[in-house]
Amino acid sequence: MRKFVFFLTALGILGLASPHVSALDPVAPRSFRKVGMLWVKTPNPSEDRVEITKINTGEKRSVTPDQIELVPVGRYEIDVTMQDYHYRQEILVEPTERADVVVPGYGNIKVNSPFKAEVNVYGSGSGDLVAKFPVNSVKTLPRGHYDVKILFGNKTSVKKDNIWVVTNTTRVLDVLEPH
């Protein structure tokens, strides 16, 4: 009897530890076994647009941020449009399970200068141009690290590396023209 109780206890622990053992709810109606749930959390749900594309069929559909949606099982590409940028991610929706996507927030960067100049923002590490805007204006960017280059009219420039843009804040850089 003692071995039987131990066996049942071990089986129960293994069943809880493996997500695939309990992934398909045997009690769920057959119609629900063909769909999963998708929840997309965005920084500004009232203004952000979310579109999902089923990868194998190309079928597109809009979903509402911060609401649980029933979607057919499969692999999807999620495309979120927020203010000045897009966020893209692939996700797998499994039967009777909820797939969560949390979109990173965004912050602002502002470069102040008494001289006329252009600001170029590059992805830190990648070197890709992310944004271009005039000084003394604010640009919204996804949270992250950036390299900023300020180009003055006389072909001189100032470079600031590893500038951290934080969610819901404005990073301000004060720059004078180099001599």
Backbone angles phi, psi at 65, to 5 degrees: -60, 150
Give the pLDDT of residue 134. 95
Give the pLDDT of residue 45. 85
Radius of gyration of the chain (CA): 24
Give the pLDDT of residue 18. 44
Q: Is the pTM of this model over 0.75?
A: no
pLDDT in tens, 44-59: 888 889 999 999 999 9
Give the pLDDT of residue 11. 53
pLDDT band with cut points at 50, 70 and 90 for residue 22 = very low
- C-alpha 80/C-alpha 38 separation (Å) is 14
Beta bridge partners of 43: none
Give the pLDDT of residue 5. 57
Q: Which residue has the higher pLDDT, 7 or 64?
A: 64
Tokens of 165: 């843009």
Q: Which residue has the higher pLDDT, 25 or 76?
A: 76
pLDDT in tens, 65-124: 999 999 999 999 999 988 767 889 999 999 988 999 998 888 899 999 998 999 999 998
Give the pLDDT of residue 58. 93
Determine the 3-state secondary structure of 8 from DSSP: helix
pLDDT band with cut points at 50, 70 and 90 for residue 9 = low
DSSP letters spanning 50-99: EEEEETTT--EEEE-TTS-EEEESEEEEEEEEETTEEEEEEEEE-TT-EE
User: Which own/partner contact pairs does 51-60 have at CB distance under 8 Å and 24+ positions apart?
Assistant: 51/78, 51/79, 51/81, 52/76, 52/77, 52/78, 52/79, 53/77, 53/79, 55/90
Tokens of 9: 């206890």
Domain annotation for the chain: domains and CATH numbers: 29-102 (2.60.40), 106-174 (2.60.40)
Tokens of 126: 């990648």
Q: pLDDT above 90 covers what percent of the chain?
A: 51
Give the pLDDT of residue 21. 43
Nearest to 33 by CA among 46, 23, 43: 23
Q: pLDDT above 70 covers what percent of the chain?
A: 82
- C-alpha 120/C-alpha 132 separation (Å) is 5
